[in-house]
A and B are shown apart, each in its own frame.
Chain A
Amino acid sequence: MDSQPERQTEVLEENGQVEPIASLSERSPGALLRSIFREERFFLILSVFIGVFSGLAVVCFRFAIDWCRIYLLGSGSTLSPNRLVLAPTLAGLVIAVLVIHVFPGVRGSGVNQTKAALYIYNGYIPLRTAIGKFITAALAIGSGHSLGPEDPSLQIGASLASALGRRMRLSRDRMRLIAPVGAAAGLAAAFNAPISAVLFVIEEVIGRWTAGILGSVVLSAVSSVVVMRWFLGSESLFRIPAVHLERPSELIAYSVLGVVGGLASIAFSSGIATLRPRFKALPRWTQYFQPAAAGLLIGLIAVLGAPQVMGAGYEYIDEAMHGQFTWQMLAILAGLKIVATLLSFVSGTPGGMFAPTLFVGAMLGAAVGGAEHVLLPHLSGSPGTYALVGMGVLFAGFLRAPMTSVFMVLEVSGNYSIIVPVIVANTFAYVISRGLQPTAIFDVLTRQDGLDLPSMEEQREEGILRVEDAMRPMGDSVLDAEDTIDRVLHVSEKSSSDVLLVRLSPVGWSSITSQELRRMAAEGKGGFTLGSLLPVRHVPYLHPDHSLDTALRYVDRWPLVPVVSRADFRKLEGVISQHDVLKRYRDFGEG
C-alpha cells in the first residue's frame, strides 16, 4: 500500500471533512453539476450577489442621508439656527413613532442585532429591519443626530443577506453565516474600507477565523466596495495628510494619546452603559419624546457654536486633520461629540457609533497633538497624524476591536509609516479600557437587552484545552505488526490495559484486544505475524496540539487513540481515551 494516500485518509483534519477524490471524467453530468453547485460553492457565488445588493443599498442609503440633510438642514455650511434646532427635534418625533409602531427592531447601532441573528435566530433578520433601518437612520443622521451610517449599513447588509438566504433555502449552518457576510458587505461599502470591514466582522461578529466563512466575507466586502465606488467614487472619507515619524522618542507622545484615548473611551462607554438602561426604564410614553429631546439638545449645542457635532461629521474630521482648529477647540469638540452621541444613542435613535467614535478620536488625537506641540515644539508629527492615530485609539478603546483599529488606520491613511504609533497608542488605550471596564460596550448593550451573546473579547482570551493536556503515556503496551502472535501475547499478559495499540508498517496504527490475541494463539496461529492476521481496522491518530474538542469526536468510537508526533508519525507521544478527555474537562470546570 502506498503510504501517502494512507496518510491522507487517516489524519484527522481540524474540519473533519475528507473529500472523495474522483476524476471529473468518471462523473455523471448530474454529479458534475452537483459538484459545481455544491452548497459552499453556491454560497460563495451568493456572497458576490450579497455584496452587490448591499453595495447598492448602501449607495441609496448615502443618497438618502444627503437628501435628508439638504432638505432638513439646508445646503450651506452656515446653517440657520431655527433649522439647527427644529430639524433634529421634529425628525426625532417622527423617528420615535416609526420605531415604536412600525419598525421596532431598528433601535441602536445594528451590530448586536447581527450577532443575535448569528447566535440566536439562525441567521434570521427580517427584511423589514433593513427598510426600517434605512429610513429611520437616514432621517436621524440627515437631520443632525450625532450618529453614523456605518453600523446601520452593516445591519442593512445583514438583513438583505438574510432575506436572500431564506429565498435560496440555504441550510441552517449557511443561514447562520449569511448575516455576517451581508454585514461585512454593508460595512465595507459604508466605510469604503474592505479590509477593516472583514476584520471587524471576523473580530466582533463571528469571533473566529474559519476558512469556510472567510472567503464569503471577503468576496461580499470586495464586491460591495466595487459597487459603492462605481457610484460614489473611490476617494477616501478624508484627505490624508503627510505622515512621518522622525524620532522613535516621539512614540512617547503617541503613548500619551493612547492613555488619554483610553480614558475618553471609558467615559464614553460608561456614559452609555449608565444612561441607556435609565432612559429605557422611563415610562413608555417618554419614548415618543426621547429622540426629539436628544435632537433638541444637540440642536442647542449646534446653535451655541458647535454645529460640527451634528451628523457623522466626516468633513470636520478632515478639517481637524489639516490644522483647522486650535487644540482647545478640538478638545471641546471631542467632549461635546461624546455628549451629543450619548444623547442620540441612549434615546433609542437608530444610528451607528463608528462615525462618532472616529470623530471623537480624531478631535482628541489632534487636540493632544496640538497641546504636545505647544509644550514640545520640536515634535514632528502633524495634527493630521495625531488625528489619524486618535481615530484608531478610540476604535481600540471604545469599540474594543484592536485588530480592526490598526488596519482601519492603515487602510484609511494608505501609509504604513504610521503603523508603529498606531500600535503603541492603541495598545495603551485598549489595555486601559480593558482594565477599567472589563466588559466591552457591545457586550454591555446585549446584556442590557436581556440577551447572552458570546463575548468575542472573552472568547479571544479563553484558554483552549488540547490533547496534550489530557493524554497519558502508553508505557510498553505498544505492539509491532511484524511481531509474532506468541511474542505479543507475552506482552499483553504483562499489560494492565485490555486494548493494545499496534504500530503498522510503514505508517499507521491499529488496535487489538488481549482476548483476540488469546483466541489467535488458541487457534494455533502463534507463529504468524500480527500484521498478517490483524483485521483491517485503522485507528486514527491525533497530535498533542489538537484541541480536546477534536479528540472528543473520535474517542467514543475508538477506546484508545494514539497521540503521535507531527514530525514522526510512528513516534508515540501518548494515548487518549474518552475517560481521559472527560476527566480533563471535569478538572477544568472545577478549577
Chain B
Amino acid sequence: MTAKAKGTDLRLYLTREPVILALLSALAVALFLVVTGLSHIYHAQQSSLGNRWFSRGVADLRAQRFESAVAEFRTALLYSRDNYSYQLNLAEALIGRKRTSEAYSYLVNLWEREPENGVVNLELARIAAQKGQTEPALRYYHNAIYATWPGDQEVERRDTRLELIEFLLRINAKAQAQSELIALAANLADGPSQQARVGDLFVQAQDYDHALAEYRLSLKSERHNPAALAGAGRAAFELGRYPLAQRYLQAAVAANPSDSESVARLKTTELVLEMDPFRRQLSVARRDRIVMDDFAAAGQRLKSCSALDNARGTASGAGSQQNFADSWSKVKTEITEQGFRRNPDLVEAAMDLVFKIERQASTACGESAGADMALLLIAKLHEGS
C-alpha cells in the first residue's frame, strides 16, 4: 500500500466514525444539560408539593387527626418517596391509626437507612412490645437509649429508658428493671417529681431500698410532696422500718387526707408498732400486756376461722387448726403476768404460737386484715431473729 493510499484511508476513517462519535457525544452532553434543567424544575416542583403536603400532615398529626395525616404524608411521599422525615411521620401517623404492620414496614426501611436513629428505634421497640416480641423490643429500646436524638438527647434517652423500665415491669422482668432503674437513677437530673417517679418504679420493681433513697432525694427538694411522702412511707413499710414509715405516712396523710391507701397503710403501721412486743424501750409490763393482747387476737382469729370453715362446710386444714386450738388453750392458762414472771421464755413461746396461728389462718381462711395483718407483719419482721 502506498503512502498516499494509507493517508486517504486514514482520512476516510478519521472523518467518519470518530467524528460521528464526537458529534454523538456532543449531542448527549447537550441533551444531558437540557434534561438537567428540566430535572431541576421537576424536582423543585416535587419538593414544593411534598413540603406543602408534609406541613399539612404534621399539623394533622399534632391534632391527632391521624387519618388525614396518613393521607397527607402519603401524598407528600408521592413527591419525595425517599424522604426520611416524611416516612417517619407517616409511620407515626399509621401507629396513631393502629396500623402497626404498615408502620412497621416503613420503620424497618428507615432503620436500615439509619440504624442509629432514636425515634425509629423507639417506634420499632413500641411496635415489638405491642406485638409481645420481647427480644426485639428490648433490642430496639436499648438501641434507642444509645441512639442519636434530635433536640435534647439526654431527656430523650432518659424518657426512653423510663419507657423500657415500664415495659420490663409489664412483662415481670423485675431484675432487669431494677438494673435499668439503677442506671437511670445514676443519670437522673435534680428534679423532685422525676425522683419520685423513679421511686415509684423502684417500688414496682420491689427494690424498696433504692425506692426509699429516691423518695428521700425528692423530699429534700420538696418536703411536703404528698406523693413522695406516701411513696417513702410505703417503701419504709415494705422494708419493715415501721417507725420511719409511720412518720412519712403521717406526713402524707396530713398533706393529702384523701389518700386512702396511705391512711390504711398508716393504720396498719400503727397497729404493728402497737402490737409488737419485741420493740425496744418497752417496759416489761407493757410487753406482757401486748403479748396477752396478741395472744387473745390470735385466739379470736382461730375461732373465726373455724367458724368460717364450718359455715362453708369445708375442712381445709381442720386437723392443724384443731392442734393449734389445743395448743392455744393449753398455753392460755399460762398467759398471765405471773406466768411471764415465772417463765421468762413464755413470751417467745406465746408469740411463736401466735405467729403460727396467724400464718395458718391466712392460708386457710383468706387474707388477714387489721390486727391479724399486723401480727403477720410482726412475724415477718422478726423471722430469723
Contacts and interface: CB of A to CB of B under 8 A. Distances in A.
Interface in B325-353: none
A52 B28 contact: yes
Contacts of B28: 49, 52-53, 56
A206 B47 CA distance: 41
Q: How large is the interface on A (under 10, 10 to 19, 20 to 34, 35 or more residues)?
A: 35 or more
Interface in B1-38: 1, 5-6, 8-10, 12-14, 16-18, 20-21, 24, 28, 31-32, 35-36, 38
Contacts of A384: 105
A322 B101 contact: yes
Interface centre among B5, B14, B20, B99 (most CB of A within 10 A): B20
A5 interface: no
A401 B27 CA distance: 36
Interface stretch (A28-36, A108-116, A481-489, A515-523): A28-36
A66 interface: yes
Contact of A322 (B13, B24, B105): B105
A30 B101 contact: no
Contacts of B8: 30
Contacts of A29: 6, 9-10
B71 interface: yes
B102 A324 contact: yes
B32 A30 contact: no
Nearest to B103: A322
Interface string B33-56: 001101100100110010011000
B162 to A, nearest CB: 30
B254 interface: no
Interface string A224-267: 00000001010100010110000000000000000000000000
Given A29-B10, A45-B21, A66 B75 contact: no
Given A231-B35, A231-B39, A37 B17 contact: yes
B13 A33 contact: yes
Interface string A25-59: 00011110110010000100110010011001001
B42 A33 contact: no
A300 interface: no
B43 to A, nearest CB: 9
A233 B17 CA distance: 33
A25 to B, nearest CB: 15
B234 interface: no
B78 A323 contact: no
A63 interface: yes
A49 B71 contact: no
A493 interface: no
B105 A241 contact: yes
Interface in B170-215: none
B299 to A, nearest CB: 60
Contact of A66 (B5, B10, B17, B42): B42
Contact of B31 (A34, A53, A322): A53
A75 to B, nearest CB: 5
Contacts of B109: 239
Contacts of B108: 242
Interface residues of B, number: 43
Contacts of A76: 53, 75
B9 A30 contact: yes
A384 B101 CA distance: 11
B13 A323 contact: no
A491 interface: no
A6 interface: no
A102 interface: no
A315 B1 CA distance: 66
B82 interface: yes
Contact of B75 (A31, A77, A233): A77
Given A77-B75, A77-B78, A56 B31 contact: yes
Contacts of A28: 1, 6, 9
Interface in A288-343: 315, 322-324
A59 B72 CA distance: 26
A306 to B, nearest CB: 16
B380 interface: no
Interface in A490-515: none
SS class, residues of chain A in contact with chain B: helix
Contacts of A34: 9, 13
B75 A322 contact: no
Contacts of A66: 42, 46
Given A60-B35, A231-B35, A77 B10 contact: no
B161 interface: no
Nearest to B56: A76
B126 interface: no
A70 interface: yes
B97 to A, nearest CB: 11
B74 interface: yes
Interface in A413-438: none
Nearest to A75: B49
Interface string B91-119: 00000000101100110110000000000
B81 interface: yes
B12 A323 contact: no
B5 to A, nearest CB: 8
A376 interface: no
B42 A30 contact: no
A124 B102 CA distance: 48
Interface in A52-83: 52-53, 56, 59-60, 63, 66-67, 70, 75-78
Given A28-B6, A59-B35, A60-B38, A168 B75 contact: no
Nearest to B100: A323
A49 B74 CA distance: 37
Nearest to B73: A77
Nearest to B8: A30
B78 A33 contact: no
B75 A37 contact: no
A62 B293 CA distance: 93
Contacts of A78: 71
A456 to B, nearest CB: 31
B83 to A, nearest CB: 11
A323 B102 contact: yes
Contact of A63 (B38, B53, B71): B38
A323 B46 CA distance: 27
A56 B35 CA distance: 7
B377 to A, nearest CB: 50
B372 to A, nearest CB: 51
B337 to A, nearest CB: 75
Given A29-B9, A56-B31, A76-B75, A233 B82 contact: yes
Contacts of A49: 24, 28
A322 B94 CA distance: 12
A30 B74 CA distance: 61
Contacts of A231: 35-36, 39
Nearest to A324: B102
A533 to B, nearest CB: 39
A30 B38 contact: no
A42 B20 CA distance: 10
B265 to A, nearest CB: 48
A168 B105 CA distance: 50
B300 to A, nearest CB: 58
Interface centre among B12, B101, B108 (most CB of A within 10 A): B101
9 contacts: A28-B6, A30-B8, A33-B17, A53-B28, A56-B31, A60-B38, A66-B42, A70-B49, A76-B75
Interface of B: 1, 5-6, 8-10, 12-14, 16-18, 20-21, 24, 28, 31-32, 35-36, 38-39, 42, 45-46, 49, 52-53, 71-72, 74-75, 78-79, 81-82, 99, 101-102, 105-106, 108-109
6 closest cross-chain pairs (CB), A and B: A30-B9, A33-B13, A37-B17, A77-B75, A322-B105, A63-B42
Given A33-B10, A34-B13, A42-B17, 9 more contacts: A28-B9, A30-B1, A30-B10, A37-B17, A70-B45, A76-B75, A231-B39, A242-B105, A323-B101
